[in-house]
A = this chain, B = another copy of it.
Amino acid sequence: MSQREAGIDLDTSLGYLLKEAASALRTAMEEVLRPLGMNVTHYSCLELLAQRPGLSNSELARGAFVTRQSMNTLLQALERDGFVTRPAAPPVGKALPARLTPRGRQSLEAASAAVRSVEERMLSGLTGEDRSEAFRILRSMTRALREGPVDS
């Protein structure tokens, strides 16, 4: 019965399609990151730090869509392995600004190229206008979901 799994009515649900696309993207990313010894959260953390040096643990967690606890565990491993550095004492408050080491930057380079190729493949069937539309629509969806969590 596995020959014809199509036809599920859920295929008309944009929520389901969104989840499906995100799942496919995650799978494709993990596929190219695995040979480099990384997973998606791992890569996301490094990419965030490359573009915004000095982000704190909590900020990285929000950017990678995980909890600060998970990001903290990851950061400790990344620090132990020499990919990122954090000062021993917080310069202000409690936030410890993290930065990439040269090794971290080098490790990111290959991963970033791999991920870019995946993203390019994802967009290969879309025109420039399609991409602009996708940008606008996805941002609208995210904003609408976040702004009205309260039941009215």
Interface residues, chain A, CB within 8 Å of chain B? 1-2, 5, 8-10, 12-15, 17-29, 31, 47-48, 51-52, 56, 58-59, 62-63, 65, 95, 115, 118-119, 121-126, 130-131, 133-135, 137-146, 148-149
List chain B residues, Cβ under 8 A from A14.
119, 122-123, 131, 134-135, 138
The answer for the CA separation of A52 and B8 in the assembled complex, in Å, is 7
User: How many copies of the chain does the oligomer comprise?
Assistant: 2
Contacts A125-B144, A144-B121, A144-B125 given; indicate if A18 touches B25 (C-beta within 8 A).
yes
List chain B residues, Cβ under 8 A from A47.
10
How far apart are A107's CB and chain B's nearest CB, in angstroms?
Answer: 18
List chain B residues, Cβ under 8 A from A56.
1
Shortest Cβ-Cβ A-B pairs, 7 listed? A22-B22, A24-B145, A23-B65, A17-B138, A15-B119, A125-B140, A21-B142
The answer for the CA separation of A93 and B27 in the assembled complex, in Å, is 29
Cβ B9 vs Cβ A51 within 8 A: yes
A142 contacts which of B5, B20, B119, B135 (Cβ < 8 Å)? B20
Contacts A118-B145, A122-B144 given; indicate if A18 touches B15 (C-beta within 8 A).
no
